[in-house]
């Protein structure tokens, strides 16, 4: 190529690193955008709690600003304000079943308990959470609100199989890995490495679950939540290849009973609560493990009976 004077124009060697960097950035942007189009199959990496990703937390902050039923931490409800509601506080900790996936916020058993009993009930359920996330950050969020009683349910996500275990997932405060996983390029590369070099394995051992649940109940009791309830099971699960089996899930149901008895917590057997009702009546969603509106009412009634007056 020649300039206006007819002489050949040569690129300066100093410009080449900049051009190379621009090319690398362009390739990265194209890859990043392209890899965001196909969704990562959630069951491939069930051991990763996506709610800790910095990108997800920023998105949640934006969403909570326009959704009065969701706060910036991902919990479904407004903060407790003692001046507005002096009633004894009941914290409900758990996963998407406690959160109330597939039903409106006011239809969850947490909201029903808040409206129909003498308890000020708050929903600390988060979709995808296991006992690992419970002891990592949920319990601290609960303790900050000074609860008087607590209900706990973390069995199913703790029993899953994945290419990742919970230690791979990292804690909420591990900002470097939570930042890297915010990029689709990194996550696909990480998953590809796991798939080609390893096998599916439990996200945690039954003993780790026992230890987590014990620690959770003890920390809540030390913080003032003397009255405690543990959900045991939910409903027998059909096997889902590569994700969960009914046989393994039963081990976690039994572990929940053992820990609850040892720590002096009351037990609610979910099969007993839902007995006599068809699955179509009390469960909803493609997984058939989440409560319908009718199911939430049944659970609210059962908890009200077990908890009694504050």
State pLDDT tens for residues 183-234: 999 999 999 999 899 899 999 999 999 999 999 999 999 999 999 999 998 7
Q: Mean pLDDT, to the nearest integer, of 10-26? A: 68
Q: How far is CA 234 from the centre of its chain?
A: 17
Of the chain, the percentage scoring pLDDT greater than 70 comes to 92
Element (H, E) at 24: helix 15-35
Domains in the chain: boundaries: 88-168+200-307
Give which of 78, 126, 132 is closest to 99, Cα–Cα: 126
pLDDT of residue 10: 52
Contact by Cβ (8 Å): 96, 128: yes
Give, as one character, the DSSP assignment of residue 138: I
Q: Which residue has the higher pLDDT, 46 or 12?
A: 46
Percent of the chain with pLDDT over 90: 65
The whole model's pTM is what?
0.88
Fold adopted by 88-168+200-307 = Rossmann fold (3.40.50)
| φ and ψ at residue 60, rounded to 5 degrees | -65, -40
pLDDT tens-digit series, residues 123-148: 999 999 999 999 999 999 999 989 99
Token pair belonging to 162? 């994945």
Predicted confidence (pLDDT) per residue in 146-178, tens digit: 999 999 999 999 999 999 999 888 999 999 999
Give the 3-state secondary structure of residue 150.
strand
The span from the CA of 91 to the CA of 149, in Å, is 6
Other beta carbons within 10 Å of 306: 14
pLDDT at 104 over 80: yes
With 90 as the cut, is the pLDDT of residue 261 above it?
Answer: yes
Instruction: Classify each residue of 36-68 as buried b or exposed e, where b means 16 or more C-beta atoms within 10 Å of its C-beta.
Output: eeeeeeebbbbbbbbbbbeebbeebeeebeeee
CA–centroid distance for 200 within its chain:
20
Contacts of 306 (CB under 8 A, 6+ apart): 229, 266, 268
How many angstroms separate the Cα of 71 from the Cα of each of 31, 37, 79, 126, 202?
Answer: 33, 28, 8, 11, 31
Query: What is the pLDDT averaged over residues 12-23?
Result: 69
């Amino acid at each position: 190529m020649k300039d206006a004077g007819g002489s050949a124009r040569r690129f300066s060697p100093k410009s080449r690193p900049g051009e190379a960097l621009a090319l690398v950035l362009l390739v990265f942007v194209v890859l990043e955008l392209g890899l965001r189009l196909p969704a990562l199959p959630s069951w491939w990496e069930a051991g990763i709690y996506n709610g800790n990703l910095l990108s997800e937390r920023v998105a949640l902050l934006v969403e909570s600003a326009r959704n009065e039923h969701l706060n910036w931490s991902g919990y479904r409800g407004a903060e407790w304000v003692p001046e507005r509601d002096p009633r004894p506080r009941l914290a409900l900790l758990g996963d998407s079943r406690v959160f109330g996936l597939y039903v409106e916020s006011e239809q969850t058993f947490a909201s029903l308990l808040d409206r129909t009993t003498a308890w000020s009930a708050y929903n600390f359920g988060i979709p995808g959470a296991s006992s690992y996330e419970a002891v990592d950050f949920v319990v601290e969020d609960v303790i900050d609100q000074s609860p008087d009683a607590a209900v706990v349910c973390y069995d199913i996500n703790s029993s899953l199989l994945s290419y990742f275990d919970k230690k791979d997932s990292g804690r909420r405060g591990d900002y470097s890995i939570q930042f890297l996983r915010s990029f689709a390029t990194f996550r696909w590369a990480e998953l590809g490495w796991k798939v080609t070099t390893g096998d599916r394995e439990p996200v945690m051992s039954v003993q780790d679950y026992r230890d987590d649940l014990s620690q959770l109940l003890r920390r809540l009791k030390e913080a003032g939540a003397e009255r405690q309830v543990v959900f045991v099971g939910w409903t027998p699960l059909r096997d889902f290849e590569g994700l969960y089996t009914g046989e393994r899930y039963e081990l976690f149901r039994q572990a929940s009973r053992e820990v609850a008895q040892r720590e002096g917590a009351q037990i609610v057997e979910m099969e007993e609560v839902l007995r006599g009702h068809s699955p179509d009546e009390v469960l909803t969603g493609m997984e058939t493990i989440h409560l319908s509106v009718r199911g939430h009412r049944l659970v609210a009634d059962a908890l009200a009976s077990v908890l009694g007056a504050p």
